[in-house]
Amino acid sequence: MKAIFIAFDEAYYDRIVERLNLLNCRGFTGWREVQGRGSKTGEPHYATHAWPSIASAILTVVDDSRVDVVLDELHQMDMATPKLGLRAFVLPVERTI
């Protein structure tokens, strides 16, 4: 199994949850308001006067065979609106209870 950590502009939240549902990724944990900035060209998301946008994040755990399907879907969203910012990171899941 793999964990996919998805960080994105808050405007994506409902769309990402909808896409996860369509891809049969039932379980996830979401944070509606997180702060950060991209490592290369991403605009800061600090919820301040200077940088008013805010980010969100979702962590979902999927079977290895689902990772590419989810990443492809997220990549399409990012390519459609690249200025919003969306990144996904895949991590191994060694054990669950």
Confidence of residue 78 (pLDDT cuts 50, 70, 90): very high
The rounded distance, in Å, linking the Cα atoms of 18 and 68 is 17
The rounded distance, in Å, linking the Cα atoms of 54 and 75 is 20
Distances (CA, A) of 24 to 30, 34, 55, 63: 16, 25, 24, 11
> What pTM value is reported for the model?
0.90
Contact residues for 77 (Cβ-Cβ < 8 A; gap 6+): 12, 15, 16, 19, 86
pLDDT at 27: 92
What is the pLDDT averaged over residues 66-90?
94
Architecture per CATH, domain 2-91, reads as 2-Layer Sandwich (3.30)
pLDDT digits (tens, 9 = 90+) for 20-54: 999 999 899 999 999 888 777 777 777 787 877 88
Where are the domains positioned within the chain? 2-91
The rounded distance, in Å, linking the Cα atoms of 48 and 73 is 31
